[in-house]
Amino acid sequence: MGLEQELDVYLRARFTLVVLVTLEEERALEAVKAVCDRLRRPCLTWDLGDGFQSLTGATASLPAARDPLSALEHVERAEGDTLFVLKDFHDCWTGSGSEKTFKRKLRSVAQRLKFTRKSILVISPVAKVPEELRDDAVIVVLPPPGPPELEGVLTGLTSTPGVKVTLTALGREKLVQAAIGMTASQARRTFAKAIIVSDGRLDDRHIDLVTQAKKEIIRESEALEFYSVTETPDDVGGLEVLKGWLRLRERAFTQEARDYGLPAPKGIALIGIPGTGKSLTAKMIGGLWRLPLLRLDVGALFGSLVGEAEERTRRALRMAETVAPCVVWIDEMEKALAHGAGDAGTSTRVFASILTWMQEKTAPCFVVGAANDIASLPTEVLRKGRFDEIFFLDLPTESEREEIFTVHLRKRHRLPADFDVAKLAAESAGYVGAEIEQAIVDAMYVGFDEQREFTTADIADALRRQVPLSVSQRERIGALRAWLREGRAQSASFVETGEAEAQFVPLELG
């Protein structure tokens, strides 16, 4: 049900207090006007600056009311079936003292309006409603504009005299798609900027400009970070089982999949040893599926004001759903989703909101949760229904280490054939991908310092100088691998013949 249909139902059902949550006041008023025009219902708006103004219907004289209490008194005295749209009233119901008087008055008026045909609609940028008003108020959220509305914004700008449009049909579709997640005003400003910087032209090249603008807007949500992903499966060594699982679902977000009856994948949990490529895998998924990658910074959700963390959480999750289909990456889940009783229950409520969203979301947001310490992860996080699969990223096998060496040498513009990759793979048993990469970097420093090309021997020496995690954190890694052995997750790698048991034997490196 769209906003106009929802408001239509509430007004005809004589709901007396509706709180419309949105930052887009102009869009909200357009929707309200359309509903009131259709119902032939008068509508007055009120704010501190202009007092009462007529939105629909002819009004001979407007009442004078320069403060919220006076406005509510007029609402109570007014005759007929007028809808009163009150702006900025959320500022009046926070705090104490006179604010308590205001909340009491608003609650009393809303209750008395049940015996009339009048209604109050409060436009608020936040969804937080005082406890005293929750029983009397219904909350409606105005979603960001969809493709048809954004197409209308673009059409309005491109029809301006002097604007030359050379967009292809596909380019126009991609330009609108790139603006999804913006408000109508943000999209209008971004499209206008693209036209101005190119001297009145608009073509397919401006898609990147719109995408960049959306990154900045998403960053303003304070808890989401937009990643430009270029990683492919070729940039990740090993993990063939996981890669196969992802490739099988590469077309899962298409309309073709919906028509076939397939639901959108919910997400995967990546559990394992630090440095085995969990973060790189999250980036690789965005590149493989060609979807936006959003990193949810749970720490940034918490603020100093009461209710701020919950509001930021709702805003971030709504933004993710607006940008969908997308990949939402939660790194170090054991820290991000930890909760306790030392903050008046705020972290518990944020934790519950995220878990509920993961379970109940209908938007195609694919969640990639990464964790190093399974013991610190709340058990309810891994319950079925939140993730489609749980993958364990173990110490890489010998063939995987060979592939990892190859990937990182190519990344640094070296030919793997110039190095004895097989020898290095054999000598790096017990090393994770991050440690292998660091050994290559250390070898490069040696070669650079001696003004020569680094060699296989330099990398081998760098490996011997390292103390890998499989030695320094033997007990912790042993506990993680025992967790996999118990059948609690699926291995992300093909285990080589003859190496399956060796994968679970404590490594002695010397």
10 Å Cβ neighbour count for 6? 18
**What CATH number has the domain spanning 147-220?**
1.10.8
The DSSP secondary-structure symbol of 268 reads E
Given a cut of 90, whether residue 477 has pLDDT beyond it is: no
Residue indicated by tokens 């119902």? 39
Q: How far is 489 from 2, CA to CA, in rounded Å?
A: 41
Instruction: Give tens-digit pLDDT for 184-206.
Output: 888 888 888 888 887 788 877 77
- Cα torsion 172, 175, 179, 180 to 10°: value is 60
Which fold, 3-141?
A: Rossmann fold (3.40.50)
Residue indicated by tokens 């969990």? 278
AA identity, residue 219: R
Instruction: Find the helix or strand (DSSP H, E) in which 469 lies.
Output: helix 469-472
Pick the CATH number of 233-393 from 3.40.50.300, 3.20.20.60, 3.90.850.10, 1.10.3720.10: 3.40.50.300
Given a cut of 80, whether residue 267 has pLDDT beyond it is: yes
Instruction: Give tens-digit pLDDT for 213-236.
Output: 777 777 776 788 888 777 888 888
The structure's pTM equals 0.69
Token pair in block for residue 304: 């100093």
Q: Assess contact for 182 and 218: CB atoms under 8 A.
A: no
Which fold, 398-504?
A: Helicase, Ruva Protein; domain 3 (1.10.8)
- Comparing 3-141 with 398-504, is the CATH topology the same? no
Q: pLDDT grade, residue 342 (50/70/90)?
A: low
Could you tell me which residues come within 8 angstroms of residue 96 by beta carbon, excluding any fewer than 6 positions away? none
The DSSP secondary-structure symbol of 368 reads E
Residue spans per domain, the chain: 3-141, 147-220, 233-393, 398-504
